[in-house]
Structure 1
């Protein structure tokens, strides 16, 4: 490491720049560090694609800020820590002094990974940064949907006493003794499973990458997606979005759910085909639906689920805790500190750069 290392801390209204700089100073207390700062307005201003040409090339998705802002803020920085700032092919091409990019997210979707790899720049990310927050939120949605908590609250605030929710046909469902299906068994899904089992639920898991020995030790049952849907009175999604998992739940397999089942999606909107949901709610195949993510964010004004019965909606808040922000900054800064000390990195999105390989 040189006597003075210039670091860009590109924060936002969730992970402020000083969270990054404080975490890096903690990891490198004796180092000579000079900080340059950039701050975008996410989440108070939405993210979106940045920098793509007319054919959709060269840009990034889910970014906040502009290429010009990043280039101006970078200056002579060799290290960049960010959550949302766009590191497009242009930014990387016009920043020859940049040697490391740390992204405080579960995946570096705001970085042109091919351009970074071609330039020999390692890009790190923060798996599991919001696992606890997202798992707690998913469980909250499950409980709210099964016990009609939000609907009872809204009615009472309008002066309506929903005593009819005590009528047998309208009464809620318990987790104790229920079969709960989790689609995906990574960091978040495994926490949700542990909590649901503590409530007394039998937990089914559909995940082709799950370790059977771990599932057995955790007390969950691995099964196929169709079997899970047929048997589960509540289903919660926790898978990653890939070409194979896009619309993993759709009109064909959602019809397998038991009558009155509860469906929760706090993972990614693309996992679920939203088109059949209004009809499934109207027919009673779905007894309740709880959503934190959507196929279009935010949903349009004419969104049909606004008028559908028994729907709970929140604005993509599952990971929104202060601990998530603190944890993401610490993990990202720790990777930058390892890079500057010449130590092995732990969460590298393009490991080929470490061995001199190229895509």
Structure 2
């Protein structure tokens, strides 16, 4: 990892804030610094901190999750910072304790799990985050899987790469449905599920959804039919997981759920690996009850190389890529700096992960 002060001497020490820009190889420190200078003024002192994610995996660090970087290095760099902008850097208690001037942390993620929110609140520092920041990328990825999975693209590609030209997928019983003829079941009708439904309207699919929190108005807007979960399972040619991970939804896709699904259905999970009992999914595939699956998320991540799901030709596997697009990276930087700039100007936040921050510690609006 590399750190350096990217501000020219001629503007250092101006009235604009000192900003720590902690980036990686997806959302770069340079892009955060450029956006900070544009949003906060030309006198902004932007210190860049770089990590090697995704080339080096993220992990748990000092009480935070899915983080990349050294908290001690970040604490030293944040000592005189008023703003921290980051994607995955571990913004731990040590960072907050080392930064008495810190006013706000901006995180370019839908879930700022790399920030110690309790410590942020205790120190009176709001944490900006970006709900729905990658919903477009994820939704398009999901629809792409809905096109390719039933049409045997994954298994045919593997076979051709292995030197086998096999036209058996033209046999009637092995051909798959076009989306215009498919019934798609969405388990969860939040931002991503609603966008998937919107895209599927263009294909002419019948779309069902189960979401205990969705209103009839939201379903009408998305163009879906809200149905009980057993109905969705029994009717859908493709079942796609979009539920939030809670104690109630953990392992909700288990043996009972897979058994209730329509014989020959396909299952897709781009939400959270912990939603799925992977042993039960394997059993449903081995029995032939499910025709195939596509998994972008796993429990644990990365999965064990010996996991038998990884070697099955009827499973499409990707390493948590659904949210990776250039638009996500560029727009996330623009959104987070704009919201932080608005907060510094007016004290107002649209997306704050710790709304109790004003009740604790120091106030710096």
TM-score normalized by structure 2? 0.91
Q: Distance in 2 between matches of 1:225 and 1:23?
A: 44
Contact 1:292–1:317 under 8 Å retained in 2: yes
User: Is this contact kept in 2: 1:281–1:309, CA < 8 A?
Assistant: no
| CA distance, structure 2, for counterparts of residue 244 and residue 158 of structure 1 | 42
Given the alignment of the two structures, is residue 46 of structure 1 paired with residue 50 of structure 2, yes or no? no
Match of 1:35 among 46, 67, 70: 46
d(CA) in 2 for partners of 1:290, 1:13: 26
The answer for the alignment partner of 2:17 in structure 1 is 5
- How many angstroms apart in 2 are the aligned matches of 1:335 and 1:244? 33
Contact 2:107 2:336 in 1 (8 A): yes
The equivalent of 1:215 in structure 2 is 219
Contact 2:149 2:293 in 1 (8 A): yes
Identify the residue that residue 99 of structure 2 maps to in structure 1: 95
Contact 1:24 1:330 in 2 (8 A): no
Residue pairs, 1:1-359, within 5 angstroms: 3-29=15-41, 32-51=43-62, 59-354=63-358, 356=359
> After TM superposition, which residue ranges in structure 1, 4 or more long, deviate above 6 angstroms?
none
In 1, distance between residues paired with 2:230 and 2:26?
38
State the shift of 1:101 in Å: 0.6
In structure 2, distance between residues paired with 1:230 and 1:328: 39
Indicate if the aligned counterparts of 1:113 and 1:350 stay in contact, CA closer than 8 A. Answer: yes
Find the aligned partners of 2:94 and 2:229 in 1 and give their Cα distance. 42
Question: Could you tell me whether the CA contact under 8 Å between 2:86 and 2:108 is conserved in 1?
Answer: yes
**Structure 1 CA distance for aligned equivalents of residues 260 and 313 of structure 2:** 20
Aligned 8 A contact 1:37 1:73 in 2? no
1:35-72: per-residue Cα shift (whole Å, max 9, x none)?
Answer: 11111111111110001xxxxxxx10111112112112
Structure 2 CA distance for aligned equivalents of residues 13 and 215 of structure 1 = 38
Q: What is the RMSD computed on CA atoms of the aligned residues?
A: 1.6
Query: 1:97, 1:105 → 2: CA distance?
Result: 23
**Secondary structure of the corresponding residue to residue 218 of structure 2:** helix
Q: CA shift at 1:357, angstroms?
A: 5.9
- Runs of 5+ in structure 2 lacking a partner? 1-13
Deviation at 1:309, TM superposition (A): 4.2
Pairwise CA distance, 1:158 = 2.8
Measured in 2, the distance between the counterparts of 1:93 and 1:75 equals 9
Tell me if structure 1 keeps the 8 A contact 2:122–2:360.
no
* Residue in 2 that maps onto 1:55: none
Q: Give the whole-Å Cα distance in 2 for the aligned partners of 1:285 and 1:196.
A: 25
Matched position secondary structure for 1:228: helix
Query: Can you give the 5+ residue segments of structure 1 that lack an aligned partner in the other structure?
Result: 52-58
TM-score (norm 1): 0.93
SS in 2 for 1:338: helix
